[in-house]
Structure 1
Amino acid sequence: MEFESIPGVGEKTAKSLSKLDGAERALAAGDVATLARAPGLTEGRAAAIARGAIRRRHDDDGGFLATDRAREVYRDVLALLRDRTVTTYAAKRLETFFPTASASRIEEVREFAETAVERDPDADVLAALDGVEPLESASGIRVRERCLATADAERYAAAKDAFPELSVEVVEDARGLSELARSYATVVALDEAFAGVDVEGDVRVRPDAAEHPDEIVPERVLAFFAQNRARIHAAADVHEVASLDAPCDLDSLRDALSRLDDDGTIVGDDELDRLVNAVDDADAAASTAESVANDHLRDAIRERDVTIEGTDFLSLVEQGARVDSLLSRELEDQYADAVATARDHLVESLSLRPEEADIATRVFTDDPSFPVGYDEEMLARLRTELKTGRDRRAVRLKRELAADLSDLRDPVNEMVTDALELDVELAVSRFARDFDCAFPAFVADGSDAESADDDGDGFRIDGGRSPLLDVPFDAVDPVDYGVSGVTLLSGVNSGGKTSTLDLVALVVVLAHMGLPVPAERVELERFSELHYYAKSQGTLDAGAFESTLRDFRELVDGETNRLVLVDELESITEPGASAKIIAGILEALDDQATTAVFVSHLADEIREAATFGVAVDGIEAVGLADGELVVNRSPVKDHLARSTPELIVEKLAGEDASGFYDRLLEKF
């Protein structure tokens, strides 16, 4: 794939994507978690790239949301969905869902959503999701007890790039390898020429090292699993609680993880623990053994009857007198016992094997001396032998565990991604349940259903309730409304005209995202664009007025089968001029295959100014109760709604017999 062909992807980002395994699959699936593992990409940037790739695949130009208010409604929809996610991944992943005119994209998301709404957003599942995050690549790994060796300059450069975790050394012959083997626990020779060379130490000839990086640097795999341990455990828990089919055996996975510490070291191996402790405790054990030997010898001297009194003997020793001959002559057995005690203590305290104990016995010499001391050089040799044994065992165990975990890496990636995608599905399910949603039916020019409205196109909403209102959703009155062609919507102030437009926009945005809508039943055509113009805040000055007219000039020359929603356009200028301008705009829209709803208090004036029969619907107030309007929220077709002043005058006329209010009422 040419990554730079994706909208918003430049040369640098394309290069990052080229380094990512499975980039094309991730782009096709909208897999934000995988894309975010590309060098330098955040989840937010990954979501934008996935969105661009989806648009390209479905030939979507991104122009469905044609106005600021339409884009605000989409952002409100996303906010409602994101509020129902647990993971930050799911919140970002939802940004790959967008309203579009592309039938293929709408159907693609709808198939996803139809599966999603069947998911049960169980509280235990949501709790398990709380610990799931996209897996991170391990970094900053440095291995000091192992090196690579080669005599070839090109191979040296390639090894430096392929294995930044290891030192790469240049050697000329077997002697050079031998020297390296004395400094490193393991030397990996990259040249075939070194095969069969007999060198003391752990030297491995691996010309194929670059093809098996996990065997050469098992720390890579271990660091990855150690760093992501909590996330992997959380994803495994999600699969169990949600009864998802896991891509690997979870018990085997947990067993493998239990052998790995948080810093990537091996745990649970008794022999390795013994060697680690022996290395750490060698100095302290030697010092303690030395004290044990001297205490033993002091006691023997005090109790021994020799030519000179024991107390005098000790006094001489403390004055630095030579006592080796005295020890050899008078206390040979006691000195041998003291040294044997020291050796036994050192071997036992470090839990040394027989081959290691041979070196330990030489830490304390047979030559008589007092105080008894240990040989620093031999102790260093013992420590070196223990370190070498520790490092070799650790490497072997790392290789074994890395081999097990390497086989699990792809399944684990899949498992975590599936858990994260479950959160996306559950967000859609929770949205559908919270707002009593149903899937809309798209009609093609009225041929796929009885009608969206009387003329068979536009939209028809039954029992729609907007979750965007500042009241509890259960308290929202359901609205039935359908429009085909160009329509004026009249109604009393605060009767719900703007809320009705918001509901229509919300339903249309969700439907064109492929998602369920908050209504009992919805039918609509597949619109090419949504133009929603919010109410202007006061009369516009000349420049702003001219700019607004230019917007509508472009509108009437644009795509066909659009949905246009306009809220009180008359507020942009004087009422008389507004009615004429709106009538002209409606005439132009009527010449196109456009569905339009214009909210206006000038419905009568606009209808008179128009050259065609403009449909007028009304949100009717049925009366006043305790000073508050009682409103039927569902617009009445072909009905000009009465104004609030008319209702108030009518109420007063019924309460007063003077005739004054009756005469006023006749003016309406």
Structure 2
Amino acid sequence: MTLKLNPEAREVYRAIREEIRKRLVLEGSSPLLDKFEPTGDVGELLRRRNYLREHLPTISPEIGEYLSRVRPIRFRRDYLHDRVLLVDGEELEAAEKLALCDVSTNPEEVEGYPLVLSTVGYGFDVELSPAEVAPELYIMPLWENRETLRALAIIGKLTGRESVAVRILRELEPLREVMEKRAALDGLEELVAEKERELNEKISEKLERFSLTLSGKELLEFLNELKEGNYEAIFSHFGRMEDEILNLINRAEDELSERLGLSVELFSREEIYPLAVPPERVEALRAELERQLKVELYMRSREILERVRNYIPALRKELSRVHELDFLLAVRRFTEGFVFPEFGEGVGFVNGRHLFIGNPQPVSYTVGRALELEGTAGERVVILTGANSGGKTSLLELITQVSVLAHMGLPVPAEKAVVEPLDEIFFFRRKRSAYGAGAFETALRSFVRALKGEGRKLILIDEFEAITEPGAAVKIIGELLKVAHEKGFYVVIVSHLGEDLKKELPFARVDGVEAKGLDEKLNLIVDRQPKFGRLGRSTPELIVERLARKKRGKEREIFERVLGAFRDSGPD
């Protein structure tokens, strides 16, 4: 049963929703707020309260850091052009329905594909299923989202349960070698160019050292050998150098082979300095690497999927649950220091704090039998009077906030609270710019609509008399409040006509927000905690006193005379 809210009360609800929504980390968590729309259904409120009482204490504040690292893991259904599925005629239709890769019934048509998958004993034997034909479509999203899996593992630890992500991460490790080769393939040109540069530097150093080690005598002997045609001795000098250079080349190619995972022979043995690898040789190496890696990635993915396939449904549940954890964390942050209200008659709270005022003065208040506060007797109709800028409107807002939060099933900003499950909440905020007959008629019709019908209603009205004449306001408000009293509705109305209304409404309680005086800077001192059952001292006298003390000369004399009139007549 949805709680009915008039536009101003619904605006309070929207503000609360927005405050919670701002604390959410993940996209997709907001819809969970819809499940906490205000309701007057006691059973539903109890269910929400029990759910939050059970789960909020388990939500560690540190979870937020790891929730922010979680990203959706989407298992794509791509069409793979690097493979062909070879089937017999009976399987052709089923294979084509998979829509994962090319399909053929002719072995001669599959030549040239890096991967030939077959159900008839040619190439890699497979069954007609996405997991067999394209296991990478499951495994690669897991590999690419390892940061999400690691975050899920930590979130699981913080919430006291082992995440399935721990096991998936462990099973993914054998894929690391393939992915390192893949990364090397992406930078193949740079890798070969770097190795070419290193080799040329080392060969240059060796040649330079060789020329410097020949002494003058050795150089003469070398020239004599050359003159006498003793080429064997000459070649022995250069042969040793050539062997050293070939060893450098072999070692460089061995390093590349180990890095790339296949035998590499790139560098020339004839023109050994300077070395330069032809581009076509690099392209040929790239083609061979790509072919080999496609096969290796397929085989590793198939093996890993066999081990992690049963974990994927649990992983999906965990990914879905992070939105729930995100919502719970946002609620916990928003309601830090709040309490769950009890059920009772009316609305009441002890040391309630306005949600949208910085460092607010805590205020206790009650309407109905919600709380037994000194000076109250369970009155359902209350007239709130007193100082301007004393917080009367803010108190109406606070009553609305507490009521709306309670009907959402959430904790409320107070030390203690009692809220009756209601059917409707009406909050009539004063419209400062609305005056005249039109505004009066609109407001009056709205109040009457709030009073019609039956049910459990809370009606909050802020200074109705501001849009009509004081004399007429007493009569109108008096009759409206009598109707509310007769129907058992809860009403709090802010009015400066408290003394007149009390004479008309013996069943109503009149509370007062009092201005205590002036501070040393002549600012008003206002106690925002209403005095129950007491008419509030208005501020005009204090404002006149402040002006009398600030002014000089003739102006001061006039203000002191007006102030004397207040003191002669007593408080209003």
TM-score (norm 2): 0.72
Hey, what's the Cα distance between the residues in 2 that align with 1:377 and 1:666? 106
Q: 1:519 to 1:389 in 2, by over 3 A?
A: closer
What is the CA distance between 1:208 and its match in structure 2? 2.9
Among 301, 313, 330, the alignment partner of 1:410 is 313
Among 233, 236, 244, the alignment partner of 2:153 is 236
2:560 matches 1:665: no
1:465 and 1:479 in contact (8 A); partners too: no
- Output the amino acid matched with 1:465: R
What is the CA distance between 1:607 and its match in structure 2? 4.5
What is the CA distance between 1:595 and its match in structure 2? 0.9
Among 569, 585, 593, the alignment partner of 2:480 is 585
**Of the two structures, which has the highest relative contact order with CA contacts closer than 8 Å and spacing of 6 or more?**
2
Aligned ranges 1:512-591 → 2 under 5 Å: 512-591=407-486
Hey, what's the Cα distance between the residues in 1 that align with 2:194 and 2:39? 73
Hey, what's the Cα distance between the residues in 2 that align with 1:376 and 1:500? 80
What is the CA distance between 1:664 and its match in structure 2? 3.7
Q: 1:667 to 1:635 in 2, by over 3 A?
A: closer
Q: 1:546 to 1:480 in 2, by over 3 A?
A: closer
Hey, what's the Cα distance between the residues in 2 that align with 1:397 and 1:176? 26
**Partner-residue secondary structure (3-state), 2:423:** coil
Hey, what's the Cα distance between the residues in 1 that align with 2:523 and 2:288? 92
Give 2:82's aligned residue.
145
Hey, what's the Cα distance between the residues in 2 that align with 1:491 and 1:86? 43
Q: 1:542 to 1:266 in 2, by over 3 A?
A: farther
Q: Which runs of 5+ in 2 are unaligned?
A: 200-222, 232-242, 269-276, 369-378, 549-558
Q: 1:126 to 1:154 in 2, by over 3 A?
A: closer
Q: 1:479 to 1:385 in 2, by over 3 A?
A: closer
Give 2:208's aligned residue.
none
Give 1:175's aligned residue.
108
Among 448, 455, 462, the alignment partner of 2:350 is 462
2:96 matches 1:185: no
Hey, what's the Cα distance between the residues in 2 that align with 1:118 and 1:108? 16
Q: Once the two structures are superposed, what CA deviation does each residue of 1:231-272 show, in whole Å capped at 9, x if it has no partner? A: 2222222333x252123272x4333455557xxx93368xx8
2:381 and 2:491 in contact (8 A); partners too: yes
2:509 and 2:533 in contact (8 A); partners too: yes
Give 1:267's aligned residue.
179
- Output the amino acid matched with 2:179: V
Q: Once the two structures are superposed, what CA deviation does each residue of 1:87-137 show, in whole Å capped at 9, x if it has no partner? A: 455566445422211223212221122124424644xx1563353334242
Hey, what's the Cα distance between the residues in 2 that align with 1:494 and 1:615? 23
Aligned ranges 1:433-444 → 2 under 5 Å: 433=336, 436-443=337-344
- Output the amino acid matched with 2:70: E
**Partner-residue secondary structure (3-state), 2:306:** helix
Q: Once the two structures are superposed, what CA deviation does each residue of 1:306-348 show, in whole Å capped at 9, x if it has no partner? A: xxx999xxxxxxxxxxxxxxxxxxxxxxxxx9xx999989985
What is the CA distance between 1:501 and its match in structure 2? 0.9
1:99 and 1:512 in contact (8 A); partners too: yes
Hey, what's the Cα distance between the residues in 2 that align with 1:520 and 1:578? 37
Give 2:365's aligned residue.
480
2:381 and 2:509 in contact (8 A); partners too: no
1:131 and 1:231 in contact (8 A); partners too: no
Q: 1:174 to 1:84 in 2, by over 3 A?
A: closer
Q: Once the two structures are superposed, what CA deviation does each residue of 1:457-507 show, in whole Å capped at 9, x if it has no partner? A: 2122222222322x325xx23323333422222222122211211111111
**Partner-residue secondary structure (3-state), 1:635:** strand
Q: 1:406 to 1:641 in 2, by over 3 A?
A: same
Q: Percent identity over the alignment?
A: 26
1:466 and 1:502 in contact (8 A); partners too: yes
2:315 matches 1:400: no
1:620 and 1:635 in contact (8 A); partners too: yes
Q: 1:385 to 1:68 in 2, by over 3 A?
A: closer
Give 1:501's aligned residue.
396
Give 2:161's aligned residue.
245
**Partner-residue secondary structure (3-state), 2:343:** strand
What is the CA distance between 1:631 and its match in structure 2? 4.0
Aligned ranges 1:115-514 → 2 under 5 Å: 115-119=54-58, 121-122=60-61, 125-126=62-63, 128-129=65-66, 131-139=68-76, 141=78, 143-150=80-87, 151=89, 154-155=93-94, 157-160=96-99, 163=100, 167-169=101-103, 171-177=104-110, 179=111, 183-189=112-118, 195-196=120-121, 199=122, 203-204=123-124, 206=126, 208-209=128-129, 213-240=130-157, 242-248=158-164, 250=166, 252-259=167-174, 266-267=178-179, 348=254, 351=257, 388-433=291-336, 436-443=337-344, 457-469=345-357, 471-473=358-360, 476-483=361-368, 484-514=379-409
**Partner-residue secondary structure (3-state), 2:430:** coil
Give 2:207's aligned residue.
none
What is the CA distance between 1:513 and its match in structure 2? 1.1
Q: 1:275 to 1:617 in 2, by over 3 A?
A: closer
TM-score (norm 1): 0.63
What is the CA distance between 1:278 and its match in structure 2? 9.8
Q: Once the two structures are superposed, what CA deviation does each residue of 1:418-444 show, in whole Å capped at 9, x if it has no partner? A: 4443343333333343xx32211112x
Hey, what's the Cα distance between the residues in 1 that align with 2:413 and 2:289? 70
1:539 and 1:573 in contact (8 A); partners too: no
Give 1:57's aligned residue.
none
2:59 and 2:325 in contact (8 A); partners too: no
Hey, what's the Cα distance between the residues in 2 that align with 1:632 and 1:342? 89
Hey, what's the Cα distance between the residues in 1 that align with 2:282 and 2:356? 77
- Output the amino acid matched with 1:617: V
1:78 and 1:95 in contact (8 A); partners too: no
1:496 and 1:633 in contact (8 A); partners too: yes
Q: 1:665 to 1:415 in 2, by over 3 A?
A: same
Give 1:623's aligned residue.
516
- Output the amino acid matched with 1:410: P
Hey, what's the Cα distance between the residues in 2 that align with 1:527 and 1:284? 76
